[in-house]
Amino acid sequence: MDRLAVDGLVTEYAVAVDDGDWATYRRLFTADGRADYRGAGGIEGDAGQVADWLAASLAPFAMRQHLIVNRRVRFEILEQDTGDTARVQADYVNPMRLADRDSGSTAPDLVCGGRYAFGLLRTQDGWRLREVVVEEKWRRLPERRAAPVLG
């Protein structure tokens, strides 16, 4: 059951980011929870600071589809109790489309991928994120087409 709950929390994280649901994003973390997006060109800070930064950074993108895959879950020991903490390492692929793009196109303007490291803690309210670290491994921007030659 814990494995399912931890997996569900990681999915809730991805959906909150994709939907821009920053209140839910904040609630997924422990009171002292932190996120580190420096490995993807972002910031490190508490969940509230990072939620504000994500909201501003992702605002230009009308479509975000965070796919978190290859999840490896490990339960750890906290104060002699096995299973109250967990680590999840997972890969991601994230296509995004700009809001001001021609409405006839559904293709993403940017696609990136990398790896997450999640640290989780079992609380009275269930599993919560204590730490999220993002390491972007690659990024693809759309190919630029050459301007037509006139003349």
Query: Considering the domain boundaries, does residue 21 fall inside one?
Result: yes
CA-based end-to-end distance of the chain: 69
For 30-80, the pLDDT digits (tens) are 999 999 999 999 999 999 999 999 999 999 998 999 999 999 999 987 665
Q: Which helix (H) or strand (E) element contains residue 147? A: none
Q: Which residue has the tokens 């809730």?
A: 12
- Which among 23, 53, 48, 35 has a CA at the least distance from the CA of 120? 35
Query: Considering the domain boundaries, does residue 145 fall inside one?
Result: no
Q: Domain of residue 33: give its range.
A: 2-140
Query: Considering the domain boundaries, does residue 15 fall inside one?
Result: yes
CATH number at residue 54: 3.10.450.50
Q: What are the Cα distances from residue 109, in Å, to 4, 8, 76?
A: 33, 28, 40
For 89-137, the pLDDT digits (tens) are 999 999 998 887 666 677 778 899 999 999 999 999 999 999 999 999 9
Written as one string, the DSSP assignment of 114-139 is EEEEEEEEEETTEEEEEEEEEEEEEE
Are the C-beta atoms of residues 131 and 33 closer than 8 Å to each other? yes
Written as one string, the DSSP assignment of 74-96 is EEEEETTEEEEEEEEEEEEEEEE
Domains contained in the chain, number: 1
Q: What is the pTM of this model?
A: 0.87
